[in-house]
A and B are shown apart, each in its own frame.
Chain A
Amino acid sequence: MRRTRLIALLALFALVIAACGGTAEESTDTTGGEEPTETTAAPAEEPTETTEAPMVDFEGAVLDAGGCDYGGKINTITAVDQYTVQFDLCSPDPAFLAKAAFTPFGIQPAEHIEATGGAPLENPIGTGPFMLDAWNRGDSIVFKRNDNYYGQVPAFETLVYRWATEGAQRLLELQSGSVDQITNPSPDDFETIQNDPNLQFIPIANPNVFYVGFTNTFAPFDDVKVRQAIAQGIDRQRIIDTFYPAGSEVASHFTPCSIDNGCAGDSWYDFNVDAAKALLEEAGLGGGFSTTIYYRDVFRVYLPEPGLVAQDIQAQLKENLNIDAEVVVLESGEFIDKATSGQLEGIHLLGWSADYPHVTNFLDFHFNENQAQFGNNFPEIYDELKVGAAIADAATAAPNYEAANNAVKELVPMIPIAHGAAASAALATVENANYPPFGAPQFEFSNPGKDTFVYMQNNEPISLYCADETDGESLSPCQQVVEPLYTYATDSGEVVPRLATECVPNDDLTQWICSLREGVTFHDGSAFDANDVVASWSAGLDAANPLHVGNTGSFDYYAYLWDGLINAPESEG
């Protein structure tokens, strides 16, 4: 903290000197070039050995965490020159690009963030294919085409977002032709959509997994034989066939195969009641035992009918293994708290939808050595994950993930059951209608054959400053306006450059240097440069930044994906 204060004082002193000296601040008329923070910002210090000499008329901003003691991932973010940003990390991160492509890390003009006091909640300014025209509260949001867009300029002029909470109502609107595309139709309506010649069914390949978890600090789940027995004693295919929409599949591994190294190693156990009974006999529980199945009654793509699946697993445990299970539904928040802190003594039904397309988002999150959800963690798993997480090349890391996946199968901290299918639907007349595995539809590629495209989602956005939002209903419209350095491909989990032309890591993946796209202008006409990147990230990541305001001020995705906020108060840390 002393160091931070010293830097802040120096910065303040420098500003006073500069103001008295009357230097030409306006020389960089594109961005202003000033780091908006007082506490951690300072003009770029000496460039590191990997950076080039800064341009003479560009004063690059810096976000400096003052070291890595705060526990987070980001050490410094430096605007090396007008079109180069350098990210120095506290530890290797092969998923850096996959995370940085997420909508909350979108770039807005530094001046705009400052002018709105760090809370551009209803008036985002970005570089995207659409710009905000009007937000009619309770009704719709209207976007206009960005004719100066550097990428593919949309074929239509107006994009309208509407919302309806009920899947049946969304489908009705689509069938009547009053909207062009909808999100999340009910799984029960999948068949209707597929059989309607006026509609097109768009599968969403968002990777997810539904699993049956155990906390191995409670008997009898402290015995690996019991866990293995249940793994083989549940007919997972029956669950998928009965309760999941078409396109869902039985999980062969915890991580879906669409993610690199997700499917490395052996496939999961086959359904084998005899083998399961034999294992229970070996464990001394041949006569069965009593336990509890905990779940929350919340619809998720990975678990569309939680109550029914819970009862089916209850029936299977009784029928196949003579295990008497009581089904207990908990309130969602209480369930998540108890499950993730390892307090549920029985079986719990939970799942995971990918935040970003990297195997670490599945395996490392669930099986790291500090995870309490499954009880005592296994070095056979997390040691391999640590090694794999420091390797950028997927093929090189494959042996580690193969070993980790095999250890998961052997030790059964949980049983992966299903990868659920989700879908969107559009009018058959819409060309190139899409719904990428990650993020929202990229409407600039779609063509409804008319001037207006109407999209209907679940709910109204909370705000349009998505650095501080987590709900999909906010992130989707944000994505149309504000762009990150990278973005997700429309048809895979790959990331593709957007505001950056490329980001290159050093050998140990602790430093990423991003070259930015030149000649890009924001919707307000101002030019995009490296200081906008630093300002946008600083507002989200640095809790001491006066512009770290947002909607709630929690900036959850900055805290979650980068392992904590810089200068976070105790309660936020």
Chain B
Amino acid sequence: MVDETLPGRDAAIGGEVSRVEAFEALAANQDLTEKPTSVWRLGLRRFVHRRNGVAGMIIVGFMALVAIFAPVIAPYDPTEVLIGKEDVSKREPPCIHLLGCDESKPQHIMGTDGNVRDFFSRIVHGSRVSLTLGFSTVTVAIVIGAFLGAIAGYWGGWIDNITMRIMDVILGFPALILAIAIVAALGPGIRNALIAIAIVSIPQYARVMRASVLTIKEVDYVAASRALGANPWRILATRILPNSLTPLVVLGTLGIATVILEAAGLGFLGLGAQPPQAEWGSMLAAERNQVFSAPHLVFFPGLAIMLTVLGFNLMGDGLRDALDPTLNE
């Protein structure tokens, strides 16, 4: 079944809205040389009025800053074993001098882990892995998915059939199980986790892109370009793609949250980041049996994952609301 989802139509409607506004401006005798307000600019205006979306953006922005300035923020190297260097033992609870922890003890605001490493430094550096993985995986998946979806939607026929059936097959597997199978075949590690999650994410972008293309390729300005003899690739690149990006951006933002969760899942299973690299999922897995004796070692990575995913979800929801004209007055 062709998935003629709303986002495609939304984009088309968004395009029409901008044209309607241009005509309104004309009617108001405004300067015709002034460019009409784009759907993106309108979206941004709407986005800043949505509190949830802004809250999500603040969280994501905070996490991004933490990741960028991790070496400055973290007091220790995330892989540095402190045995013999400080008077600390493994799995020590948080010690914050401001909150009354004995000044003679070294300060570890999130405690130490099982290998006597500063847990705060590992959490901070873990943000780099998760965000990098999230952004790069979704970028790879969007590029490949959008390309496949655009071709399938524009040319149709057997190309469409074959491409979309392959996508259906991939979608037929539970995403995490398929990712585990791919990593098991490629071998554990961050790079292979990225490849695995990207592969399982491609179909959703391909389907959304195809639906957008199916809608947009029938509108007048595309037909006009075609009538003028424009190259199909040129039509795709300059007429269809820019008007199909909105749903992809929304989906991609929400997708980052999913990717971070899946990467943490792979890390938890020992298939993602490898020791001694700091990654939230593998940190959670390493100390999962200490949930009663050293709860801080599962609480902080869990909290970090939860916050980041929440941030991207809120931001994704806000973007969707802001960029969807049907939800705006």
Give residues in A with beta carbon < 8 Å to B.
Answer: 168, 188, 238, 241-243, 297, 305, 307-308, 310-312, 314-315, 319, 326-329
Contacts and interface: CB of A to CB of B under 8 A. Distances in A.
Contacts of B290: 188
Interface string B58-100: 0000000000000000000001010110000110000000000
With most chain A CB atoms within 10 A of its CB, the pick from B275, B276, B293 is: B275
B115 interface: yes
B292 interface: yes
Given A242-B89, A307-B286, A311-B115, A327 B81 contact: no
Contact of A168 (B90, B114, B270, B292): B292
A311 B293 contact: no
Main secondary structure of the interface of B (DSSP, over half): loop
Contacts of A326: 274
Given A242-B83, A242-B116, A319-B81, 5 more contacts: A168-B292, A297-B270, A305-B114, A314-B275, A329-B270
A326 B89 CA distance: 24
Nearest to A329: B270
B90 A242 contact: yes
Interface in B16-41: none
B292 A312 contact: no
A314 B79 CA distance: 11
A312 B114 CA distance: 10
Contacts of B79: 315
B276 A315 contact: yes
A238 B84 contact: yes
B90 to A, nearest CB: 6
Contacts of B89: 242
Nearest to A326: B274
A310 B270 CA distance: 14
B114 to A, nearest CB: 5
Interface residues of B, number: 17
Contacts of B81: 312, 315, 319
B276 A308 contact: no
Nearest to A192: B293
Contacts, number: 40
Given A311-B276, A315-B276, A238 B83 contact: yes
A238 B292 CA distance: 25
Contact of A327 (B84, B90, B274, B292): B274
Contacts of B115: 308, 311-312, 315
Contacts of A311: 115, 275-276
Interface in B293-307: 293
A203 B275 CA distance: 33
Closest 5 CB pairs of A and B: A308-B114, A315-B81, A327-B275, A311-B275, A311-B115
A148 to B, nearest CB: 47
A311 B274 CA distance: 10
B90 A243 contact: yes
Contacts of B293: 188
Nearest to B282: A307
A315 B90 CA distance: 15
A310 B275 contact: yes
Interface in B89-136: 89-90, 114-116
Contacts of A242: 83, 89-90, 116
A328 B292 CA distance: 27
A336 to B, nearest CB: 18
A238 B82 CA distance: 11
Contacts of A168: 292
A282 B306 CA distance: 52
Given A308-B114, A308-B115, A314 B84 contact: no
Nearest to A299: B289
Contacts of A315: 79, 81, 115, 276
A308 B270 CA distance: 14
A328 B276 CA distance: 11
Nearest to A305: B114
Contacts of A188: 290, 293
Contacts of A241: 83
Nearest to B290: A188
A264 B275 CA distance: 38
A319 B79 CA distance: 11
Contacts of A243: 90
30 contacts: A168-B292, A188-B290, A188-B293, A238-B83, A238-B84, A242-B83, A242-B89, A242-B90, A242-B116, A243-B90, A297-B270, A305-B114, A307-B114, A307-B275, A308-B114, A308-B115, A308-B286, A310-B275, A311-B276, A312-B81, A312-B83, A312-B115, A314-B275, A314-B276, A315-B79, A315-B115, A315-B276, A327-B274, A327-B275, A329-B270
